[in-house]
Amino acid sequence: MDTPVETPVTNALFQPYTLRSLTIPNRIWMAPMCQYSAEVFGPNAGVVNDWHFSHYTSRATGGTGLILVEATAVSPEGRISIADLGLWNDTQVEALRPITAFLKERGTVPGIQLGHAGRKASTEQQWLGSGPVPPERHGWQTLAPSPLPFDEEYPEPEELTTDRIQEIVGQFAAAARRALSAGFEVVEIHGAHGYLIGEFLSPHTNHRTDEYGGSFENRTRFALEVVDAVRAVWPEDLPLFFRISATDWLTENTEDEREGWTADETVRLAALLREHGVDLLDVSTGGLVPHARIPTGPGYQVPFATRVREETGLPVAAVGLITEVRQAEKIVANGEADAVLLGRELLRDPYFARRAARELGADLQMPPQYHGAAPHRAA
């Protein structure tokens, strides 16, 4: 059971955190995780439904400070799977408003991740195999900086022209406007996990010879153009996040530094993102190639976030096998990250924040409907 309301906050996880004018009530945040459950065809394609409402509102009732709604495509062809959410029309906006309203009512900050899947688009729902969807099953032509398929069974993507690149930049900005209209207070640009922005960043997937390929400056151009376009339409008083794979785990396993995106480049980009108006870096790793050797373990990605924070001053959120209350508390208390983003642990335990408050003796307000279960009440 939760501690009484009058108990003072005395630990790091339950200290509020302010970015621009927005104050997030605690440092336990929900990472974006695809549900692959939207309508696939017709006028309601990409629209949230009762599953999404239940999924997100239960974590808000559980005390999560910030919820980042799953990767939401800026265009139909930008969806990871055929059943992903989208924000390319107003029907999708209207359907999201009840979710953002409920989250705010419960004191949770609603955020959303905007993305384009690039060469990893047009896939089946995860529990049906996750492979590419063929044209006869309403699959579509994928897009990428270079015509390099994700894996052997994936089709070759179409190489983007500079005009198409600019069109996608505009789609990110339009989706950010819709996110604001839907009631979100944080927007995160998805530049991680081998999706389109990450494909531009890594020399492994970007073989272009124009102004979008080759040098670090050219490979980061698209990411910064998207950030600038979104920041231009996103309110000055609301924060903008960027999610990155700090490494695609190729260079770390080879002597050839040309193989992939590196932690050093992540630090360089983080400094630029800060200059371009990004308020927090959500630091993950991997996803660019299907068979990278990744040395996983509890908190294995946290050092990448810590390095960005220490070397650039940009606030960071850590993610990746953070599953225990004391582990999460240590990460924030020691200054390794400004917040923790929980993924699978919040799928297992939607009330993780309430459990953490009990364990740490923190104040976490209960919904009035649950006051009968407060610890000062009779059992």
Please name the residue that has the structure tokens 């309301």: 5
Choice between 37 and 363, residue whose per-residue pLDDT is larger: 37
Out of 17, 36, 154, 195, pick the active-site residue. Answer: 195
Per-residue pLDDT at 374 exceeds 80: no
Q: Which of 132-141, 164-173, 318-327 is predicted with the least confidence, judged by mean pLDDT?
A: 132-141
| Candidates 3.40.50.300, 3.40.50.10470, 2.60.120.10, 3.20.20.70; CATH matching 17-349 | 3.20.20.70
Which H or E element spans position 109?
strand 109-115
DSSP assignment of 29-92 equals EEPP-----S--SGGGTT---HHHHHHHHHHHHTT-SEEEEEEEESSGGG-SBTT-EE-SSHHH
Q: What is the mean pLDDT of residues 10-39?
A: 95
- The closest of 244, 106, 249, 122 to 188, measured between CA atoms, is 244
Residues in Cβ contact with 2 at an 8 Å cutoff, skipping those fewer than 6 apart: 354, 357, 358, 364, 366, 374, 375
**How many angstroms separate the CA atoms of 362 and 374, rounded?**
13
Q: Which of 8-17, 19-28, 145-154 is predicted with the least confidence, judged by mean pLDDT?
A: 8-17
Percent of the chain past pLDDT 70, that is, above it, reads 94
pLDDT tens, residue by residue, 270-315: 999 999 999 999 999 999 999 888 999 999 999 999 999 999 999 9
Exposed, middle or buried: residue 97 (CB in 10 Å: 0-12, 13-18, 19+)?
middle
Instruction: Give this prediction's pTM.
Output: 0.94
pLDDT tens, residue by residue, 106-158: 999 999 999 999 999 999 988 887 789 988 888 999 999 999 999 999 999 99
pLDDT tens, residue by residue, 356-368: 999 999 988 888 8
Q: What is the mean pLDDT of residues 175-195?
A: 98
The residue length of the chain stands at: 379
Q: What is the mean pLDDT of residues 89-96?
A: 98
Q: Could you state, in order of their start, the residue ranges of all structural domains in the chain?
A: 17-349
When the pLDDT of each residue in the chain is averaged and rounded to a whole number, the result is: 93
CB atoms within 10 A of CB 42: 7
Confidence of residue 253 (pLDDT cuts 50, 70, 90): very low
| DSSP-derived secondary structure letter, 114 | E
Distance of CA 154 to the CA centre of its chain: 24
3-state secondary structure of 340: strand
Q: Is 195 labeled as catalytic in the residue annotation?
A: yes
**How many angstroms separate the CA atoms of 176 and 171, rounded?**
9
pLDDT number for residue 62: 97
**How many angstroms separate the CA atoms of 19 and 2, rounded?**
27
pLDDT number for residue 51: 97
Which H or E element spans position 227?
helix 221-233
